[in-house]
Structure 1
Amino acid sequence: MKELFRKIQPYSGKIFAIGLVLFFSFLAYNLYNAPVDGFDEKFIYLLKKYGYIILFAWGMLEGEAGLVMAGLLSHTGDMNLYLAIFVAGLGGFAGDQVYFYIGRFNKAYVHRNFKSQRRKFALAHILLKKHGWPIIFVQRYMYGMRTVIPISIGLTRYSAKMFAFINLISAWCWAAITIVPVWYFGNEILVVLEWAKEHWYLAIPIAAIFGGGIIYYINKATKKVEKRSLNED
């Protein structure tokens, strides 16, 4: 088994990509053939039927939108809160493990295909050297660095077991921090979503401005950290 695992690891990135393509093809097929009318109803039906599977895959991609949906389904009783956190955390853990092993066993591929990300890789190395394991714990909240940091750590001699342990705890914390507030404020969020559905012409620009503001703020904060770390080094 260990020998098989060792042989598979260098192809982890390709296996990950193929798996995602097959999974989303499966979802698209079931969405199209859902025994209800309307896209909204079909999507809700799919979430209720394959909720935990979708949540795991969404967790691998570290998409907070999937965790928000899990929080709402937990609020309505269509998901178990604790199981949702557990599954979402496992998905986040699995995704970063794949990125880590891409760096560990596909160094030539990384250097060849991530040339435009060299500055971010340099920053990731500096942050790991300066802060140690906490950077693994918080990397999920660093916009633009979520993929780079696990890969860059894989490129180093950092312990795979230590990375996996910290990564798992971090993933479960990330899932809980996102899902629990949505579950708790479920009624209020559902009211807002219903309003947005009825007033979509107002909701779209508001969401765009609000989302753009958050992305701008996070991006600006990340660049400040990058500039400070590079200067201090």
Structure 2
Amino acid sequence: MKELFRRIQPHSGKILAIFLILFFSFLAYNLYNAPVDGLEEKFVYLLRKYGYIILFAWGMLEGEAGLIMAGLLAHTGDMNLYIAIFVAGLGGFAGDQVYFYIGRFNKDYVYKKFRGQRRKFAFAHLLLKKHGWPIIFMQRYMYGMRTIIPISIGLTRYDARMFAFINLISAWCWAALTIVPVWYFGNEIIIVLEWTKKHWYFAIPLIVILGGSIIFYINKATKKVEKGVINEN
């Protein structure tokens, strides 16, 4: 078993790509053949029938949108709250483990493929050197660095078992912190979504402004942290 695992690890990136292609092909096929009318109804049907499978894959991509949908489905009773958190966390864990082993066993590929990301890799190394294991716990909340940090840690001699342990705890916390509030405030969120659906022409500029503000704040905060870490080193 260990020998098989060791042989698979260097090809983790290709395995992830194949998995995602098969997954989205599966979704497209079932979405097309869903026994309901309308794209929205087909998508809801798909979520209710294959919710946990979709949630696991969405967790691998670390997309909060999938976790928000899980929170709403848990609120309506179409998903179990605890199972949703467990599955989403496992997905997030699996995704970062793949990125970690891409860095660990495909260094030449990483240096070639991410040549334009050298600054981010250097920043990730500085963060790991300065903060140690907490940066593994926090990287899911650092937009723009989510893929870079686990790959960057894989490039170092950081213990794989320690990374896996912290990564798993971090993934379950991330899933719970996203799903539970949506589940708790489900009624209010559903009301807002219904309003948005009926008044989409008002919602679009609000979404653009809100999304732009969040991106601006995250970029500014990331640059501030980056500058502080570099100055201290």
1-structure distance, mates of 2:58, 2:204: 23
CA drift of 1:209 comes to 1.1
Q: 1:1-233 residue pairs with structure 2 within 5 A?
A: 1-233=1-233
Cα distance, 1:111 vs. partner?
Answer: 0.6
Q: How far apart, in 2, do the equivalents of 1:25 and 1:208 lie?
A: 30
Output the CA distance in 2 between the equivalents of 1:70 and 1:111: 36
Deviation at 1:232, TM superposition (A): 1.3
Judge which range, 201-210 or 125-134, deviates more: 201-210
Q: Secondary structure at the match of 2:109?
A: helix
Other structure's SS at 2:25 match: helix
Unaligned runs of at least 5 residues, structure 2? none
- Using the alignment, how far apart are the partners of 1:71 and 1:30 within structure 2? 22
SS at match of 1:79: coil
Tell me the matched-pair count: 233
Shift of 1:216: 1.1
Deviation track 1:29-67 (CA, whole Å, cap 9, x = no partner) reads: 100110000111000000000000000000000000000
TM-score between the two structures when normalised by the length of structure 1: 0.99
Shift of 1:204: 1.3
Percent of aligned positions that are identical: 83
Instruction: Report the Cα distance in structure 2 between the residues aligned to 1:208 and 1:31, rounded to whole angstroms.
Output: 28
Structure 1: how far apart are the matches of 2:59 and 2:78? 18
1:159 maps to a residue whose letter is: D
Aligned-partner Cα distance in 2 for 1:197–1:59? 26
Q: What stretches of structure 1 move > 2 A for 4+ residues in a row?
A: none
Q: Tell me the distance in 2 between the aligned counterparts of 1:19 and 1:84.
A: 21
Counterparts of 1:209 and 1:26, CA distance in 2:
35
Q: TM-score, normalised by structure 2?
A: 0.99
